[in-house]
């Protein structure tokens, strides 16, 4: 009797596993990502502008245009301000990939930049339209894109903050995957 129960349990687990595999394989593949160039007349940050400088500046931003951009954000902690729609320096921003996730027709790549001027780690989320290829967690990556959101929040009952800069229409300029 015990053998029959074990066989039934193993059979059900195998059936569910096969079903999940078949379901995930039905998911359509994303088209390959292509390079997105800034439109004519787009504003780019100066090469010396770092993510830390942008975050510090945005925290103090209070212009009417910046408030309007933050008000239209779906992010209640948005401080994007006047940086909304501004392209980052042409050389791009780079760091260590911490996560890669498909999100509809896009791929979200989260990476960290160690910035000596801020004495800490800054988080960047790059939204790449399509499939950026073999980007893996642990890779060293450089991306280009425009600033679509800046998130900043002090955690409750703490002095710690949670912050990131989101880049839309991102293009992967360079990727070096880890060799393990």
List all residues 6 or more positions away from 140 whose beta carbon is below 8 Å from its beta carbon.
Answer: 94, 95, 96, 97, 174, 175, 176
Q: What share of the chain is helix, strand, coil (3-state, %, to 5)?
A: 25, 35, 35
Q: Which of 51, 81, 87, 102 is nearest to 149 (CA)?
A: 81
> Which CATH number do you get for residue 59?
2.40.50.140
What residue numbers bound the domain in which 113 lies? 51-176
pLDDT in tens, 121-131: 889 999 999 99
**Looking at the domain assignment, is residue 41 inside a domain?**
no
If one counts the domains in the chain, the total is 1
pLDDT at 61: 52
Q: How far apart are CA 149 and CA 168, in angstroms?
A: 9
Q: Which of 132, 144, 149, 141 is nearest to 38 (CA)?
A: 144
**Looking at the domain assignment, is residue 44 inside a domain?**
no
168 and 127 Cβ atoms separated by less than 8 Å: yes
Residue in this structure with the two tokens 């280009």, named with its chain if needed = 144
**Looking at the domain assignment, is residue 92 inside a domain?**
yes
pLDDT in tens, 122-170: 899 999 999 998 899 999 999 999 999 888 777 777 776 778 899 999 9
pLDDT at 54: 83
DSSP, res 157: T
pLDDT at 72: 53
**Looking at the domain assignment, is residue 139 inside a domain?**
yes
**pTM for the structure as a whole:** 0.72
């Amino acid at each position: 009797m015990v053998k029959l129960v074990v066989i039934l349990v193993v059979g059900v687990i195998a059936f569910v596993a096969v079903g999940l595999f078949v379901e995930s394989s039905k998911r359509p593949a994303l088209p390959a990502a292509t390079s997105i160039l800034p439109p004519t007349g787009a504003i780019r940050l100066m090469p010396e502008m770092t993510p830390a400088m942008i975050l510090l500046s945005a925290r103090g931003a209070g212009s009417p245009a910046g408030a309007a951009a933050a008000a239209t954000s779906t992010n209640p902690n948005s401080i994007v301000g006047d940086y909304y729609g501004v392209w980052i320096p042409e050389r791009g921003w780079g760091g260590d990939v911490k996560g890669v996730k498909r999100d509809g027709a896009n791929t979200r790549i989260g990476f960290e930049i160690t910035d000596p001027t801020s004495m800490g780690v800054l988080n960047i989320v790059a939204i790449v339209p399509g499939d950026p290829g073999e980007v893996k967690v642990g890779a060293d990556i450089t991306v280009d894109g425009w600033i679509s959101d800046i998130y900043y929040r002090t955690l409750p009952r703490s002095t710690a903050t949670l912050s990131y800069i989101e880049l839309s229409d991102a293009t992967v300029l360079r990727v070096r995957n880890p060799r393990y």
